[in-house]
Amino acid sequence: MKLINRYVAEVGRHLPLIQGREDIEKELRSTLEDMLEDRAQKAGRASDETMEIELLKEYGSPQKVAATYNPHPYLIGPQMFPFFIFILKLVVFGIMVGLSVVMGIQIITQMSVMGSEFVSIVGKGISNIVSTSIAAFGYVVLAFAIIERFVPASEFKMGEEQEWDPTTLTREPSPDAVKRGELIAEIIFTFLGLAVLNLYPQALGMGFFTNEEWFFIPLFSAAFMAFIPWINITFLTEILLDINLLRTGLWTPLTRVFKIIIEAAGLAITVAVFRTPNIIGFTAEMFKNSSITAEAAQTLTTIFTTMFPFILIIIMIIQGIELAKSVYGLFRVNYETK
């Protein structure tokens, strides 16, 4: 029986952390003992180690046996997979375009220093694109794996899996139904935003090779960094709300109010960033030690310091529209139910 005990323990080790793990082990042990007894009776002799080995060999490897009990063998299930691929392509494409533009700017601003430094910039740029894409791939996989765990496949149906009713084309969609695709996209991008802001702040800025040394100028100043905890809180609350909406599938007045609060907080942060002076880290001063000419540095600084408020205004407009939509959603539903 020693081998059976070891075998059961080995199966247990490979069992997923599901409820009733001990129960499975107990039942397996009992079954194997029954089977062994049966064999001994048929053979007309007491069971021995050879008999145990034969039995366990037939029963299969512990990993294989444990796998049959795994209720959730997917990291990203087949229902979510097409959407995963869609988001992955979008993210990797965005990174390639974004970082290629950064590399382009570096090449243009350093036209005076060609030769080996040019090769360095291109080499560094390409390796940056590759490493960032791989990191983004990891984060997208992680985000989807979390969604897969939090939202069971039975509750989550996409595309062709959904029971489709052609009459849905003729009637207005329920104002309370959540748009799952939008929510998932929002979760993924918020998650990526969190990861970049907190783990890869160096991705937000410009790097150069100067005299064989890597020279990096952050895009944002310390004044911006003070906003990161607030942005984190807003982003995390948004992710939690979205996961909850994915699970329930419906908006309620409470979740709508939450959404309004989060969106208002987001807008408030953007307004605060807009009102904070010297948020951009680029100054002509900072480029002094780089290989960039003073003129190019000035142009670059002017571009970013002029562009940034415009970008913020666009973000504020988008946030304002989203906020107005949420407020409208809350009142429309309340009005219609009265």
Residues that bind other proteins (CB under 8 A): 20, 23-24, 26-28, 30-31, 33-35, 38, 59-60, 64-65, 68-69, 71
Please report how close the Cβ of residue 21 comes to other proteins at its closest, in angstroms.
11
Judged by beta carbon, residue 52 or residue 117, the one nearer other proteins is 52
Per-residue buried b or exposed e for 67-79, using 16+ beta carbons within 10 Å of the residue's own CB: eeeeeeeeebbeb
Please report how close the Cβ of residue 27 comes to other proteins at its closest, in angstroms.
5
Please report how close the Cβ of residue 161 comes to other proteins at its closest, in angstroms.
20
Joined together, the tokens standing for residue 301 give 């600084």
Please report how close the Cβ of residue 74 comes to other proteins at its closest, in angstroms.
16
Please report how close the Cβ of residue 173 comes to other proteins at its closest, in angstroms.
32
Judge whether 315 and 268 are in contact, CB under 8 Å: no
Judged by beta carbon, residue 13 or residue 64, the one nearer other proteins is 64
Judged by beta carbon, residue 34 or residue 155, the one nearer other proteins is 34
- Does the CA dihedral 46-50-55-56 come out positive or negative? positive
What CA–CA distance (Å, rounded) separates 67 from 73? Answer: 8
Please report how close the Cβ of residue 95 comes to other proteins at its closest, in angstroms.
42
Judged by beta carbon, residue 71 or residue 166, the one nearer other proteins is 71
Please report how close the Cβ of residue 48 comes to other proteins at its closest, in angstroms.
19
Judged by beta carbon, residue 5 or residue 202, the one nearer other proteins is 5
Q: Residue written as tokens 């009142």?
A: 331
Please report how close the Cβ of residue 31 comes to other proteins at its closest, in angstroms.
5
Judge whether 243 and 253 are in contact, CB under 8 Å: no
Judged by beta carbon, residue 70 or residue 127, the one nearer other proteins is 70
CA angle 51, 55, 56 (to 5 degrees): 120
Judged by beta carbon, residue 34 or residue 182, the one nearer other proteins is 34
Judged by beta carbon, residue 26 or residue 149, the one nearer other proteins is 26
Judge whether 127 and 99 are in contact, CB under 8 Å: no
| Among the listed residues 64, 72, 39, the one whose alpha carbon sits nearest the alpha carbon of residue 53 | 39
Judge whether 185 and 87 are in contact, CB under 8 Å: yes
Judged by beta carbon, residue 38 or residue 161, the one nearer other proteins is 38
Please report how close the Cβ of residue 68 comes to other proteins at its closest, in angstroms.
5
Joined together, the tokens standing for residue 194 give 């969190």
CA angle 286, 203, 241 (to 5 degrees): 130
